[in-house]
Amino acid sequence: MLFLRAPRWASQSLLKQARKPYRFPVPPHRVQARLCSSCHGTSTSGTPPKPPADHRDIGLQQELFITSIYSPGSPMLLPNGARIFNRLTEFLRKQYVQYGFQEVITPTIYKKALWAKSGHLENYADDMYTVTSTSPSRVENPENSEEDEYGLKPMNCPGHCLIFASQKRSYRDLPIRYADFSPLHRNEVSGALTGLTRVRRFHQDDGHIFCRPSQIEDEIRKTLDFIRVAYSVFRLGPYRLALSTRPDQYMGSLEDWDQAEGSLKRALDASGQPWTIKEGDGAFYGPKIDVILRDSDGKEHQTATIQLDFQLPKRFELEYQSPAPEVEQRGETTTDPELLAVTGPVRPVLVHRAVLGSVERLMALLIEHYNGKWPFWLNPRQAIILTVNDSQPVVEFARKAQEVLLGATPSASGTVSPSNLTVDFDDSARSLPLKVREAKSKGYGMIVVVGPKDVAKGTVMVDASGIPPVEGEGKPEGKLTMTPEELLEYMKSKVAAYQ
């Protein structure tokens, strides 16, 4: 049996201090209700203004997630919530092809020695959990109990450093980009836990780029472009960029920090986007660029991040081989044949990046942003087939249509090629108007109706009015008539276009 507790790695005085919650920028108008310009703060009808959407309420209504007293701060995603989560991560995986990331899978727990090596033990212990065995027969070193202490990982970077160090690297191999969706655990103060936004267990679209010093600014530029593309697809924004500089507690030399902050400033200037400085708000191992997203209610949230790190490569003694190593380490190039004749080790630079940030927190923002009215590609309830009656011909044809839409029809070899669409089914004997009202109240993007006339024609009637229109592209689509095969292609086109 494994025993989980807050770490005793920090000194007792530190453990007695009140824990600090995550810092989110809170604008002065955060708690103000939105009113029309003509209301002047009052309501002429006597009806109070509609409160902003709350992801916890919508999550309950749409059966997206639950929480439990048995695991505070660890949301449980229900089937509908898991569909949204998987579509978000699959979207990123598709973009990894363009941006050159390779996905890896790393352990959830590591020995205390790794966290000492990475600096987390010294700088981040209060936010970590210790894992030990309560079974004496499982103890590896009875004389030194600390050797059997493990830490649940709050970050993926040390594991990715181990992967980089597992092979000899050449300058020709860089940049090397790793991506990881492994769950992370951080010991958030219990009083701050809420919904999907303040949690103890979460998933981050974590990425680490090991690059040459001369590649830093280009990698940051590509990451900023990645963020722009993703937030455009999600229809999120506007957002602003902020450079977070050296905090009071930090690793490394002032020279390293000045060099890192200078690189980020040049990359921000080259991006053409406005940016501000958040003095002293950087990570303990390096400065960072934070993406501050403004939601539909005017609140600001820190989501994506880009962090520059000279410290972990030193602590893990990471290196790659390059001609003219001293010139290479400065991020410069040379054509001097004497210098190029010498090959030696060079320390890579580590860029930490997360496009979504916490996937759970971004889900919360999207739930509130869409107010439960999902674009078709993200909708956990994309379509439902309703039968006009429960007669055998109607039900059989409707079932076949569902198989077509799901891609559940076996091939000659017995395998299937699923469409990855969500298509539910209702052949109850209730009246059609009642079933339609229920389907609309649940937020289905498409309502597919099958009746006797449809069976005769081999077609279905489709109401696509539940799909929110793309801004600037007119009204929602109305009713359509098509074969199940045509409907499948139509639904796939919506998903492919992220509509």
Q: What is the 3-state secondary structure (H, E, C) of the chain?
A: CEEEECCCCCCHHHHHCCCCCCCCCCCCCCCCCCCCCCCCCCCCCCCCCCCCCCHHHHHHHCCCEECCCCCCCCCEECHHHHHHHHHHHHHHHHHHHHHCCEECCCCCEEEHHHHHHHCHHHHCHHHCEEEEECCHHHCCCCCCHHHHCEEECCCCHHHHHHHHHCCCCEHHHCCEEEEECCEEECCCCHHHCECCCECCEEEEEEEEEEECHHHHHHHHHHHHHHHHHHHHHCCCCCEEEEEECCCCCCCCCHHHHHHHHHHHHHHHHHHCCCEEEECCCCECCECEEEEEEECCCCCEEEEEEEEEECHHHHHCCCCEEEECHHHHHCCCCCCCHHHHCCEEEECCEEEEEEEEEEHHHHHHHHHHHHCCCCCCCCCCCCEEEEECCCCHHHHHHHHHHHHHHHCCCCCCCCCCCCCCCCEEEECCCCCHHHHHHHHHHCCCCEEEEECHHHHHHCCEEEECCCCCCCCCCCCCCCEEEECHHHHHHHHHHHHHCCC
- Show which residues are catalytic: 157, 186, 204, 206, 208, 288, 352
CA-based nearest residue to 205, from 234, 178, 168: 178
Judge contact between 309 and 280, C-beta under 8 A.
no
